[in-house]
Amino acid sequence: MKYRLATILDRQEHDADITKVIDLNLADPVSQFQIIHESYNSVSGVPTAHPAKCIPKIELVDGSDVLFSLSGQETQAADWYHQKQEPVNHIIYLPTMYSEQVFNINFGRHLWDPLYAFDPKKFTNPQLKITIDVNGGGSTVTTGYLTVLANIFDEKAVTPEGFFMHKEIKDYVPGASAHEYTDLPTDYPYRKLFIKALKAGTGPEYLINTIKLSEENDRRVPLNHTISQVLKTMVGQSRAYQEWILVEGSQTAKVGYCTPAYWPTFQATMWELTASAWGVAVREGDGGRFTVDMDTGQGNTQLLATGWCPHGVIEIPFGLQDDPADWYDVSKLGSLSLDILAQAGFTTGDSCAIFLQQLRKYAA
């Protein structure tokens, strides 16, 4: 076989908060790691947060050298913008059932990219560190399972030149109508810049006012736009994110959590053995939080959620994404800074985060 799906960690149960450290004893280059987390809902059918929040941090390290460091939500957003394809996520807010979340770490332009892949032989002691918050999301989660797989090159001999490195640069709580200035690294070329603005019940356009990217103290300004302009152009270049969600029906309105955070819409139908008198209303959804209300009966409901900005993340791509020569080479700059101006309403709730996808080449 030229390619192989390898098991790095077989399905392992946990019932407490842990950080799982996995030594990567691999000889062959890796095109993609796939992390699967299953969270078990207890007797309650009331969602507390998106099930991806059960994975607050994923890291790939080699000693003190950090090669990948994002939250679970950031990992899912980066993966979707990278592949333009949703993984097989099951968002289930029903009692005594599992929600299944997939977190893909991509190292090349596409799966099985021979030019860019993670080569374990280039490092001394590579480790994957996965932090688990058992009840961080879902519906009163009490236990869960973790699985790690790897898509590796097997009989196909490749000599990758480098790999895509993902790092969170900053996670902060904005002040109302305040500027946040961030010095960005100039060590490796940028393929993508990501900005996450997530507050349950509020769309990103009501959280961020303007985004400005400045080279060498405004000697050149590659980007200076309102977030609405960015959303209508860059986000509009991709199709909408779609996912199925199962919720427990109730005549009392209850909230649930979805992945798209910008203008999500919903279609609903019963998820039962037989049809009955039934009516449902779904409203809101901005910021990844929606409300479901039923007029009669209490049947389980399935929702098709469609929208943009997964987990409130906005992608800013640089150049033609398949052409390495077209990406943003920041190594020639003396300084690079990002200025994010918050809207007046972004004062509470979840924070704003900045993270990157960079090309890191192996030493000759």
**Percentage of the chain surpassing pLDDT 90?**
80
Angle at 35 between CA 29 and CA 39, to 5 degrees: 170
User: Which pLDDT score, from 0 to 100, does residue 296 have?
Assistant: 66
Please say if the pLDDT value at position 364 is more than 80.
no
**CA 230 to the chain's CA centroid:** 19
Helix (H), strand (E), coil (C) string for 34-99? EEEEEEEECCCCCCCECHHHHCCEEEEEECCEEEEEECHHHHHHHHHHHHCCCCCCEEEECCCCEE
User: Which pLDDT score, from 0 to 100, does residue 238 have?
Assistant: 82
Cα–Cα dist 359/165, whole Å? 6
Over the chain, what is the mean pLDDT? 93
Residue tagged 């607050």 (tokens): 56
- 341-354: pLDDT as tens digits: 999 888 777 789 99
Contacts 24+ apart (CB under 8 A), 215-221: 215/333, 215/335, 215/336, 216/333, 216/334, 216/335, 216/336, 217/335
Q: For the chain, how many residues are written? A: 364
User: Which pLDDT score, from 0 to 100, does residue 214 have?
Assistant: 97
Helix (H) or strand (E) holding 141: strand 141-153
**Percentage of the chain surpassing pLDDT 70?**
97
* Mean pLDDT of the 142-171 span: 95
Please say if the pLDDT value at position 289 is more than 90.
yes
pLDDT-based confidence at residue 15 (cuts at 50, 70, 90): very high
Cα–Cα dist 99/92, whole Å? 5
Structure tokens at 200: 């349950």
For residues 332 and 266, is the Cβ–Cβ distance under 8 A? no
For residues 234 and 315, is the Cβ–Cβ distance under 8 A? yes
- 224-262: pLDDT as tens digits: 999 999 998 877 788 899 999 998 877 778 899 999 999
Please say if the pLDDT value at position 103 is more than 80.
yes
Residue tagged 């996965």 (tokens): 130
Structure tokens at 264: 């999500």
For residues 301 and 292, is the Cβ–Cβ distance under 8 A? yes
pLDDT-based confidence at residue 271 (cuts at 50, 70, 90): low
User: Which pLDDT score, from 0 to 100, does residue 157 have?
Assistant: 87
User: Which pLDDT score, from 0 to 100, does residue 272 have?
Assistant: 67
- 61-88: pLDDT as tens digits: 999 999 999 999 999 999 999 999 999 9
Cα–Cα dist 214/218, whole Å? 5
What is the identity of the amino acid at 87? Answer: P
Residue tagged 């688990």 (tokens): 132
User: Which pLDDT score, from 0 to 100, does residue 277 have?
Assistant: 66
Please say if the pLDDT value at position 273 is more than 70.
no
Q: Out of 132-146, 233-247, 261-275, which region has the weakest mean confidence (pLDDT)?
A: 261-275
For residues 130 and 141, is the Cβ–Cβ distance under 8 A? no
pLDDT-based confidence at residue 281 (cuts at 50, 70, 90): confident
* Mean pLDDT of the 90-101 span: 93
pLDDT-based confidence at residue 134 (cuts at 50, 70, 90): very high
User: Which pLDDT score, from 0 to 100, does residue 295 have?
Assistant: 74
146 DSSP β-pair partners: 12, 37
Four-residue CA torsion sign, 140, 42, 310, 313: positive
115 C-beta neighbours (distance < 10 Å), count: 13
pLDDT-based confidence at residue 300 (cuts at 50, 70, 90): confident
